[in-house]
């Protein structure tokens, strides 16, 4: 049986691993900037971000002093990255496509009971602590209720599969955990706009409300991953200042 094709972020990460192994980027050297890498590989910056986070999870790169990403270790022989699976940006891209259409279909078929269930899920979402299991469960329940409202079991299965990936893919989990650590939680107001769109039974409005919400998730992920790199750099700079102060006091 042929092996599954590598995902885009995996191919980029593996290429950088090879460059590190060949000492084009030896330990301690700075990788090209995110924008330069995106242009070099002809991909989006989110794809580069996924590749960098995959390398960071492996302990091969780190942020340093606000100046970019640096190689922190040489890869072990035969290192590769398949088990990290799907990244959050790739997942959200698929969700925009499938859940946008699910919302449009649900708008034509949702019953009053379905709308009431969505309101209950909104209340649970608003009451949950950011990053808690109840937080994630309320978010998942909300989106699954919309898939259920389509009346199409295949749509339900696809949306459920996407949420399973969100919870099981190590790279995806790491990226969403990072976002939750930065205080990002499901936006209740955006979810409420989706419910109101469904209440109007207008497929176009419902589709747009869902897509707008999920695009905001991408924006939040970009901000959270960038913020974490900045915080690491700031922490390292602060430690450096303390080292200098201690030496000066000798």
Give the tens place of pLDDT for each residue, 183-196: 666 688 999 999 99
pLDDT at 59 (0 to 100): 82
Give the tens place of pLDDT for each residue, 159-169: 999 999 888 88
pLDDT at 208 (0 to 100): 97
Among the residue ranges 46-55, 88-97, 125-134, 192-201, the one predicted with the least confidence is 125-134
| Euclidean distance between CA atoms 151 and 146, whole angstroms | 9
Contact 29, 70 (CB under 8 A): yes
Give the tens place of pLDDT for each residue, 119-145: 999 999 888 877 678 888 999 999 999
pLDDT at 230 (0 to 100): 46
| Euclidean distance between CA atoms 33 and 226, whole angstroms | 13
Closest CA to 225 of 192, 176, 164, 169: 176
| Euclidean distance between CA atoms 90 and 201, whole angstroms | 29
Burial 13-42 (b: 16+ CB within 10 A, else e): bbebbeebeeeebeeeeebeebeebbeebe
Which fold would CATH assign to domain 88-225? 1.20.120
pLDDT at 169 (0 to 100): 85
| pLDDT bucket at 77, cuts 50 / 70 / 90 | low
Cα separation values, 147 from 106, 154, 210, 226, Å: 7, 9, 12, 32
| Euclidean distance between CA atoms 224 and 80, whole angstroms | 26
Which residue bears the tokens 């924008």?
35
Rounded to two decimals, the pTM is: 0.67
The two three-digit tokens of residue 234, written as one number = 């700031």
pLDDT at 180 (0 to 100): 73
pLDDT at 67 (0 to 100): 73
Which fold would CATH assign to domain 8-77? Arc Repressor Mutant, subunit A (1.10.10)
pLDDT at 239 (0 to 100): 55
For the chain, domain boundaries: 8-77, 88-225
pLDDT at 182 (0 to 100): 65
pLDDT at 40 (0 to 100): 93
pLDDT at 63 (0 to 100): 72
| Residue ranges in 183-249 assigned as alpha helix (H) | 188-200, 203-248
Strand duo 69-71 + 61-63: pairing: antiparallel
What average pLDDT does the chain have? Answer: 83
| Euclidean distance between CA atoms 226 and 34, whole angstroms | 11
């Amino acid at each position: 049986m042929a092996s599954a094709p590598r995902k885009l972020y995996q191919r980029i990460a593996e290429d950088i691993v090879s460059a590190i192994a060949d000492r084009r980027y030896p330990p301690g050297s700075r990788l090209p900037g995110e924008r330069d890498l995106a242009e070099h590989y002809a991909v989006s910056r989110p794809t580069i971000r996924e590749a960098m986070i995959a390398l960071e999870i492996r302990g091969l790169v780190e942020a340093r002093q606000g100046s970019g990403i640096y190689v922190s270790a040489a890869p072990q022989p035969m290192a590769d990255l398949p088990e990290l699976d799907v990244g959050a940006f790739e997942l959200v891209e698929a969700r925009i496509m499938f859940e946008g259409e699910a919302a449009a279909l649900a708008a034509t078929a949702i019953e009053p009971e379905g709308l009431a269930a969505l309101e209950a899920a909104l209340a649970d979402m608003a009451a949950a602590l950011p990053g808690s299991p109840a937080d994630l469960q309320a978010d998942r329940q909300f989106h699954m209720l919309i898939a259920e409202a389509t009346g199409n079991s295949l749509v339900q299965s696809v949306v459920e599969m996407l949420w399973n990936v969100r919870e099981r893919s190590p790279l995806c989990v790491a990226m969403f955990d990072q976002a939750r650590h930065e205080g990002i939680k499901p936006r209740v107001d955006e979810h409420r706009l989706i419910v109101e769109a469904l209440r109007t039974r207008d497929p176009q409005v419902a589709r747009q409300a869902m897509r707008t919400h999920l695009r905001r998730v991408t924006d939040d992920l970009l901000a959270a991953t960038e913020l974490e790199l900045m915080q690491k750099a700031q922490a390292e700079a602060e430690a450096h200042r303390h080292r200098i102060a201690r030496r000066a006091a000798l």
